[in-house]
Amino acid sequence: MSYQIIEELNRRYTTKKYDETRRIAPQDLEVALEALRLSASSINSQPWKFIVIESDEAKQRLHDSFANKHQFNQPHAKEASHTILFAYDPHFTKEKYRKRVDVEVSSGHLPPELYDSMLGAYAFAEANTDKNGFNGHWTKAQTYLALGNTLHTLARLGIDSTTMEGVDPELIGELFKEELDGYVCEVALAMGYYKEGEDFNHGRPKARMPAEDVIVVL
């Protein structure tokens, strides 16, 4: 298959070593962050917050968050150009959803007379909410859509990246308490450019299950 989209997805890979001298150009970063914002989510809930680690001070904090575990990912904190913390809202309430429905109307996407019917779609969130108001399983799932969208966008921009579930949500929660404001980060995405000659993962073929094992066309 020689489609450009397939070539780009074959070229994207998980970077294991970054070139600390290379930084993402501001206009490329802007595109990546706009793609992130445009990500789809169930009932357009957008129950997420994306914290972009850019400054040396923030990189130091991210670096420190690997003190207890997953040290194999720690070098990316400083060597990658940027890292995005994908955070979900563990208690996504109907009041919070109302703000999204407000934007549905103010953007011109939703006719005002359909406001209440769209607000009723919160039932999808309710069905995933426990008696303590926790719906983090469902909101976390939404952040992975944004993650996938970003992975593809970065591939198109020729920017390398590393998805990291190997982070310490507890320490990140402490060190970025103010910015997270109650949201929870359990996955992060380092971005930048691989280091020539030092990234064992660069240039290797894709390792995926054959289509007949994972795709069923009826």
Ligand X SMILES: Cc1cc2nc3c(=O)[nH]c(=O)nc-3n(C[C@H](O)[C@H](O)[C@H](O)COP(=O)(O)O)c2cc1C
Q: Is 83 in the site for ligand X (CB under 6 A)?
A: no
Please tell me whether residue 161 binds ligand X under the rule CB under 6 A: no
- Residue 44 interacting with ligand X (CB under 6 A): no
Query: Applying CB under 6 A, does 36 fall inside the site for ligand X?
Result: no
Residue 73 sits in the site that holds ligand X (CB under 6 A) = yes
Coil vs helix vs strand at 82: strand
* Residue of 7, 102, 165, 170 interacting with ligand X (CB under 6 A): 165
Q: Considering beta carbons, is residue 60 or 163 the nearer one to ligand X?
A: 163
- 41 and 47 Cβ atoms separated by less than 8 Å: yes
Query: Which tokens belong to 32?
Result: 């990546």
Q: Does 14 bind ligand X (CB under 6 A)?
A: yes
Which of 166, 169, 173, 202 binds ligand X (CB under 6 A)? It is 166
Helix (H) / strand (E) element for 164: namely strand 160-164
What is the 8-class DSSP label of residue 205?
P
Establish if 173 lies at the interface with ligand X (CB under 6 A): no
What does 5-67 look like in DSSP terms, one character per residue?
HHHHHHH--B-SSB-TT----HHHHHHHHHHHHT---GGG---EEEEEE-SHHHHHHHHHTTS
Position 164 contacts ligand X (CB under 6 A): yes
For residue 18, state whether it binds ligand X (rule: CB under 6 A).
no
Report the residue number whose CB is nearest to ligand X.
166
Q: Should residue 92 be labelled a site residue for ligand X when binding is judged by CB under 6 A? A: no
Integer Cα distance of 192 and 195 in angstroms: 10
Task: Between 101 and 147, name the residue whose CB sits nearer to ligand X.
Answer: 147
Q: At what angle do helices 4-11 and 136-157 cross, to 10 degrees?
A: 110
Of the candidate spans 23-31, 104-112, 128-136, 164-172, the one that interacts with ligand X by CB under 6 A turns out to be 164-172
CB 15 within 8 A of CB 162: yes
Q: Is 174 in the site for ligand X (CB under 6 A)?
A: no
Residues that bind ligand X (CB under 6 A): 13-14, 73, 162-166, 187, 206
